Amino acid sequence: MTFRTAAVIGAGTIGLSWTALFARHGLTVRVTDPRPDLADAVDEALKTFAPHLGTTAGELAGRVHIAADVSEAVRDADVVQENGPENVEFKKDLFKQLVEQAPEHALLLSSSSAIPSTAFTGEIDGSRVLIGHPFNPPHLIPLVEVVPGERTAEESVQSAVDFYTSLGRTPVVERKEMPGFVGNRLQNALNREAIYLVEQGVVTPAELDTILTSSLGIRWATVGPFLGSHLGGGPGGYRHMAEHIGKSMKRMWAGLGNPSQSPEEQERLIEAVEKAYGSATYSELAETRDRKQLAVLAALEED
């Protein structure tokens, strides 16, 4: 299947990032969102993201068009990327409209970060509906979790893989629907323990970030947890790790934290994070993040 025109439904942080990436790869992009500042938001996003993509805002803008509504956005789309609220009823209504109004060949993708597509395709033809969940920002972070629903056709799964691959992304097809998919489940598991350690007064939020970015973040960015453990086992590999250190690690599972996150604890955590990072603006923090992430990606590409 050839992808020439993409519709982006929802122009929040994720939708704007997708818009820039699609345009960079030569697609005509029609973006729609009820936000009153849509045109300004798109213009600002293209200016911000263009340097990351090795191009100019003007070049991207020539391929991006503001659509008045969903119907106009999808009228001749080959692929639709939905980026709406994490709300099942909203997605049910929207995807019913997409199935009815998008061309019959159009691939219908959702950026949903937690809701499987089977949950919102019960009463419609879900054969071309599936999850294409990115990590923020998708124009930089390569992973896309491709998660078919119970009614998704196999050819739609392959088309999604082909589409994201053509954008320079790294699609991974997941074999079973799980709330939160894989990436967010891993992220939430780590975040839960991070919150617990801060609640218990072991470290501050900034110190925990330092521990992660100075150790596991580096290791996992290059090899991931399983290969990291395999290498950690020395010549004996993962088997040695599992049969020796793995025993003590397993005993530790029972002691992992369960943060209370009472309103009082949550407020204390919010204030601690704001104290650590509140001296910089969102734009400044995001620019630093993106610059470092680009450096990591460049290093990974050298292999």
Question: What confidence tens digit (pLDDT) does each residue in 181-227 have?
Answer: 999 999 999 999 999 999 999 999 999 999 999 999 999 999 999 99
Whether residues 131 and 229 share a domain: the answer is no
Structure tokens at 85: 């609220």
6 in Cβ contact with 28 (< 8 Å): yes
**Which residue, of 139, 173, 207, is where some domain finishes?**
173
Whether residues 96 and 213 share a domain: the answer is no
109 in Cβ contact with 130 (< 8 Å): yes
Q: Residue 230 — very low, low, confident or very high, per pLDDT cuts 50/70/90?
A: very high
Query: Domains in the chain: how many in total?
Result: 2
CB-based burial, 184-220: b 16+ in 10 Å, e otherwise: beeeeeeeeebbbbbbeeeeebeebbeeeeeeeeeee
pLDDT at 303: 67
Whether residues 134 and 201 share a domain: the answer is no
What CATH number does the domain containing 241 carry?
Answer: 1.10.1040.10
Whether residues 263 and 149 share a domain: the answer is no
CA proximity to 79, closest of 132, 144, 123: 132
Whether residues 167 and 45 share a domain: the answer is yes
CA proximity to 34, closest of 15, 58, 56, 59: 15
Whether residues 10 and 121 share a domain: the answer is yes
Whether residues 158 and 190 share a domain: the answer is no
CA proximity to 66, closest of 96, 101, 37: 37
Q: Residue 255 — very low, low, confident or very high, per pLDDT cuts 50/70/90?
A: confident
Whether residues 106 and 187 share a domain: the answer is no
pLDDT over 80 at 45, yes or no: yes
Lowest-pLDDT range, 79-88, 111-120, 246-255?
A: 246-255
Lowest-pLDDT range, 15-24, 89-98, 198-207, 225-234?
A: 225-234
Tens-digit pLDDT profile for residues 152-190: 999 999 999 999 999 999 999 999 999 999 999 999 999
Whether residues 64 and 89 share a domain: the answer is yes
156 Cβ contact list (under 8 Å, min separation 6): 107, 127, 128, 129, 130, 148
Please, what is the end-to-end C-alpha distance for the chain in angstroms?
Answer: 31
Q: Which structural domain, as residue segments, surrounds residue 193?
A: 182-301
What CATH number does the domain containing 22 carry?
Answer: 3.40.50.720
Q: What is the mean pLDDT of residues 138-159?
A: 97
Query: HSE on the CB side for 194, CA within 13 Å?
Result: 17
pLDDT at 219: 94
**Which residue, of 173, 197, 220, is where some domain finishes?**
173
Q: Distance of alpha carbon 11 from its chain centroid, rounded?
A: 15
220 Cβ contact list (under 8 Å, min separation 6): 228
Whether residues 86 and 103 share a domain: the answer is yes
Whether residues 156 and 30 share a domain: the answer is yes
Q: How far apart are CA 224 and CA 191, in angstroms?
A: 17
Whether residues 252 and 285 share a domain: the answer is yes
**Which residue, of 173, 203, 218, is where some domain finishes?**
173
Structure tokens at 269: 């955590």
